[in-house]
Amino acid sequence: MRSSLIPLAVAALLLALPGCKVVKNDTNPGATAATADPIATLVNATFEAKLLPHIAKTALPVADLRAAIATDLTAAGAAHGNRGAGEGAAWAFAVKGEGKVISANLTSRARQAEIDTDGDGVADLTLALGPVIKGTALRDVAPFYVFGDFRDQIEFAQLARALNDKVSPLLVLPEGDIAGKSMTFTGVVPIKSAKDAWVVTATSVTVAR
């Protein structure tokens, strides 16, 4: 029964988005893009139209989110985040901030930057910049991606990977060493405990020249 839910959900999303239409698959005239690759169709229909605006709208400044989490993680999650599927899943929070780049590895496939957002000279969060991005934060922050709409855990995991792949090309950084420069960012951080180290999957970054 669940195997038919994604094509139906995608079709509904496409009808709801202005200018979108179902495209036929040339290799199979009877198939549509939704039925041929429902994950890709879902991501294409929702990433820019829904996910990025949702993150931008709900992102809290780093200091405000830290204070809310330190006071009561569950209350902070209910008010500002969205919980991933499964028992013990992390809360995913949209966050924005600015800080000094303490160090950065931009030569790896899994680019990262260590950021000091509170001015004490020590990095207090890591920005994951891709193109290889681990985790499911981008998927889990969105209340409109619901596990029950997918065939199984594998398909739900494919959605997370597709979203991670989609965001990486947006994260353009200047060439050379950016340590010591100021960076503004927006992204998503998964939190299971108030003591967790912050690894933010970035959705936008700007480095001061």
Residue 31 pLDDT > 80: no
| Residue 207 binned pLDDT confidence (cut-offs 50, 70, 90) | very high
- State the average pLDDT over residues 169-176: 91
> Cα 105 vs. chain centroid, distance in angstroms?
20
By the 8 A CB rule, do 128 and 36 touch?
no
CA dihedral 118, 124, 129, 133 (to 10 degrees): -150
Residue 86 pLDDT > 90: no
Query: What is the tens place of the pLDDT at every residue in 94-142?
Result: 999 999 999 999 999 999 999 999 999 999 999 999 999 999 999 999 9
Residue 91 pLDDT > 80: yes
State residue 71's pLDDT score. 97
Ordered domains of the chain (ranges, CATH): 60-207 (2.40.50)
By the 8 A CB rule, do 159 and 150 touch?
yes
By the 8 A CB rule, do 23 and 34 touch?
no
Tell me the residue ranges of DSSP E strands in 11-109. Answer: 24-25, 28-32, 60-61, 81-83, 91-105
Q: What is the pTM of this model?
A: 0.83
Residue 27 pLDDT > 80: no
State residue 35's pLDDT score. 53
Structure tokens that stand for 128 in this block: 């994951």
